[in-house]
Structure 1
């Protein structure tokens, strides 16, 4: 798989930290040149780091233009940037609903829309969108977040259908609860961080949080030309949370 990414150019949104940083490392280790789009790209370990706000179309287009100016091509887009949200359906204002959906869903549309003219020229074009277990399982206090990630999953399938004939594969990766800075911030706010972490770990059948490097491996598979017959799917990296129903331990 490593050799199969040689010569390819990738954009990873939200690539300066968390899952995005792990994906960036993995794609570079596989031989790809990687441009990171992030609001704070200065600490990104990438071949090109660009300050991009995926909530702003002009910013996105400037970012894509910078990639083409630097590398002359674009083969892979990993739409990873997103924000979290907590609460039941009654707990967030209209403004917050609009903000989260604009970043988590419309942001993918903006980046993909700007990238597609260049992806269509690639012999190995692939898009991977970051969805979530929240798209397919009812999780407490995640109404807005779940709605956004469910939309990402539906969007992924529609994009796959629209662009397969153009030679562009589109897939999603759907992590379980991952050990990321966002989860770390949630735990810091909890009354009992240790107990909250234990509850999150127990919710997953394999009994621990998902490592971002495990998600990065899934993304690397999906963007690799070696997976040329894989499109329109959601690859779960969740310790069995989506599919398994285990008896309680003990």
Structure 2
């Protein structure tokens, strides 16, 4: 992680970059009572250099069935899904982790619901993880169907794939745009608070019975555009209060 920190220091010093993507996971489940050294190290880097790191939640090796419009079917599917918790270091408390959603308007899959490969929380001590979700491509695994998510490979060719590693950079982009469009310097915590406050649960997960599972898969939801976060409408205002909590004290 020394190389990761050196790269962050260089980008922070030379280009004033504050938001970083970390689409990499150790293939080990997050334990409910043990905080990993890697997550601890990323926390230290984030606090030391005043940056925010967006971490992929991790992918399942054997995907679930595709999300159903029937609530009972979804509950049964999730009850049968085993060993599908988030991978280290997605439990990082000082950074944010990101799950994946299906893209919209794709045949054979419901749009803007959890992708069938996206791992679920919670994090350590029931911490909400992943924090957010974004489009990562559909993982139905049928050769005749598209993933609906395109990127550029190392050779410069357009390719199609899916994964939480593709969702995390999209959330990182939103966080970076938010940071860039706010005048003056704001804390990392303010950026996280604004994203969290305005995030919305995907429309396909609005059923009350899915609230717990939804929180485990998409966290607080998906933030809207930066314009919506900062401008809102004429009848809306967002106030952000920031303070430090001293050791041994309570709110």
**More helix per residue:** 1
**What TM-score range do you get, normalising by the shorter chain?**
0.3 to 0.5
Where is the strand percentage greater, Structure 1 or Structure 2?
1
Question: TM-score scaled to structure 2, two decimals?
Answer: 0.37
TM-score by length of 1: 0.37
